[in-house]
Amino acid sequence: METLNDTPARPRRRCHPIWRILAVLAAAAALGFAWFFGSILLLFGSVQRGIHFACLTGLCLGLFALILGWAAGWRWLRRIAAVVVLIAVAVSGGAAFHRWYTVDRYDRVHEAESVGYVDWPRFAPFREGNALPVCDAPAEFRFQDSSPRIRAAYALYPIAAAAIQALGDKETYGGGQAWQYRSFGGSDDLFAWLYDSPGNYSCDAVFGLAPSDAQIAAAAEKGFAFDLTPIARDAFVFFVHADNPCTNLTTAQIRDIYSGRARTWRDVGVPFDARLLPFQRNENSGSQTTLERIMGDTPIMPPLKEDRLGGMGDIFHDVADYRNRSGAIGFSFRYYATELVNAGKIRLLSLDGVPPSPENIRSGRYPFVTESYLVTTTTPRSPDVQRLAAFLTSPTGRALVEAVGYVPPAD
């Protein structure tokens, strides 16, 4: 009599080797495509692209190793691959959760409605209905030989555009290559356009603040130095969220905040129960360089990890809306803060009891007055750049600078 244990076992069916090889090849192709497509998405969409790229690579390799281990019958490879897959998923998921917990779970306003948004096209020269003042420049200053190629820092673009409109012509500066001649950008790479940009990307003159020591040294390594013509004065300002009761800080308190010695607003005498969030800009930007000069020998604390350190407008957006925290403080220039951005959610601070008004900038009472310049290299300026410099320092040019919204330089 047969028992259950006497039943003969069925032979285990195994895949034909050719199907295993095809499965490995198909997996390699599919995972390679997934890695490539995922890398493209990370390049354009992830603020933690380094971590997620490493995890994506580990995940694809781990899955391929699982399939290869199955095809070859290597149990040890399957075990290692499973660990790699689990680690990749855990790290990527943890990074995504950290990003959500620290940033994404807080409401953000739409960019078009947010503090920091600038309608740059309204300052384009020769555009009908633009925001630039009309100036009847004397013929002696108008461009004659060749229209100079000009680039400007963000905060000085309106002056550059107004000067181009006053001295140039629509055919030259309103054509298809207008970006080349009246473009703008951050100060971190502004001065390199004078000496280190190939072909049509180079500039004859730029509008900006004084270059930093690092930028001066970088030019010197290439055999260049800078020639600066003062064209305007502005105030370096600090600002807080509109809900913050602070209206004035001293220079010493600013140094305490940006050195990290002050941790809360009560540490600087402000009756406000909030942690200080001092936002900064990227290195060699005009405003960050100005902060470094104000701090002197006092070391600046590392910037907040969550701060994106992006363009000039981002710092306004962050102070007003970043993580919905009203304890933030940021810095910029008065003209940019009051004339260019939608600054309804921030408040400019007085410093040492002096507000950053045009009158206090003109008199020098405000402690952090900055000079803006027309900058070229020390090689001889072209005749038209000489005309531009002469115009900006003439009574007509000074009146134009003031009409734009800046304070002309001291006589």
217-265 per-position pLDDT tens digit: 988 998 899 999 999 998 888 988 888 899 999 999 999 998 889 888 9
Residue 342 scores a pLDDT above 60: no
Helix 286-295 / helix 251-259 crossing angle, nearest 10 deg: 110
Q: Where is the domain boundary, 86, 104, 122? A: 104
Residue 312 scores a pLDDT above 50: no
Strand residues in 46-155 grouped as ranges (E): 150-153
Do 113 and 256 lie in a common domain? yes
Do 139 and 34 lie in a common domain? no
Closest CA to 239 of 120, 116, 155: 116
Plot region of 284 (φ>0 → left; ψ -120 to 50 → alpha; else → beta): left
Which CATH number characterizes residue 390's domain? 3.40.190.10
pLDDT at 32: 87
Query: Band of the pLDDT at 6, cuts 50, 70, 90?
Result: low
Do 180 and 269 lie in a common domain? yes
Do 51 and 143 lie in a common domain? no
Query: Band of the pLDDT at 341, cuts 50, 70, 90?
Result: low
List, in order, residues 6 or more apart from 336 with CB less than 8 Å away: 154, 155, 312
Query: Band of the pLDDT at 102, cuts 50, 70, 90?
Result: low
pLDDT in tens, 69-97: 888 888 898 899 999 999 999 998 888 88
The stretch 6-21 carries a mean pLDDT of 64
The stretch 60-71 carries a mean pLDDT of 89
Pairing of strands 150-153, 205-209: parallel
On whether residue 218 sits in a domain, the answer given is yes
Residue 129 scores a pLDDT above 60: yes
On whether residue 124 sits in a domain, the answer given is yes
Place of tokens 């509109």: 242
On whether residue 3 sits in a domain, the answer given is no
Per-residue burial over 131-147, b if 16 or more Cβ lie within 10 Å, else e, is bbbebebeeebebeeeb
Q: Which tokens sit at 373?
A: 């310049």
Q: Which domain holds residue 65?
A: 14-104
On whether residue 7 sits in a domain, the answer given is no
Do 144 and 56 lie in a common domain? no
| Dihedral (CA of 132, 136, 140, 146) sign | positive
pLDDT at 116: 46
Do 152 and 290 lie in a common domain? yes
Per-residue burial over 14-30, b if 16 or more Cβ lie within 10 Å, else e, is eeeeeebeeebeebeee
Q: First CA to last CA across the chain, in angstroms?
A: 120
Residue 2 scores a pLDDT above 70: no
On whether residue 383 sits in a domain, the answer given is yes
pLDDT at 256: 92
pLDDT at 309: 40
On whether residue 8 sits in a domain, the answer given is no
Q: Check if the beta carbon of residue 372 is closer than 8 Å to that of residue 406.
A: yes
Which of 131 and 48 is assigned the larger pLDDT?
131
Round the average pLDDT of the chain to a whole number and report it: 79
Q: What is the DSSP string of 207-243?
A: EEEPPPHHHHHHHHHTT--EEEEEEEEEEEEEEEETT
The stretch 135-142 carries a mean pLDDT of 91
Do 79 and 222 lie in a common domain? no
List, in sequence order, the alpha helices (H) in 210-346: 213-221, 251-259, 286-295, 312-321, 334-335
Do 124 and 50 lie in a common domain? no
pLDDT at 354: 95
Q: Where is the domain boundary, 104, 135, 152? A: 104
Q: What is the DSSP letter of 354?
A: B
Do 139 and 25 lie in a common domain? no
Query: Band of the pLDDT at 7, cuts 50, 70, 90?
Result: low
What is d(CA 251, CA 168) in angstroms, rounded to the nearest whole number?
43
On whether residue 9 sits in a domain, the answer given is no
Q: Which tokens sit at 137?
A: 């420049």
The stretch 121-136 carries a mean pLDDT of 85
Do 81 and 150 lie in a common domain? no
On whether residue 1 sits in a domain, the answer given is no
pLDDT at 15: 62
Q: Report the number of distinct structural domains present in the chain.
A: 2
In the chain, the percentage of residues whose pLDDT exceeds 70 is 77
Q: Where is the domain boundary, 82, 104, 126? A: 104
The lowest-confidence range among 92-106, 150-164, 319-333, 380-394 is 319-333
Largest CA distance in the chain: 122
Do 65 and 127 lie in a common domain? no
pLDDT at 181: 46
Do 237 and 353 lie in a common domain? yes
pLDDT at 52: 85
What is d(CA 249, CA 257) in angstroms, rounded to the nearest whole number?
10
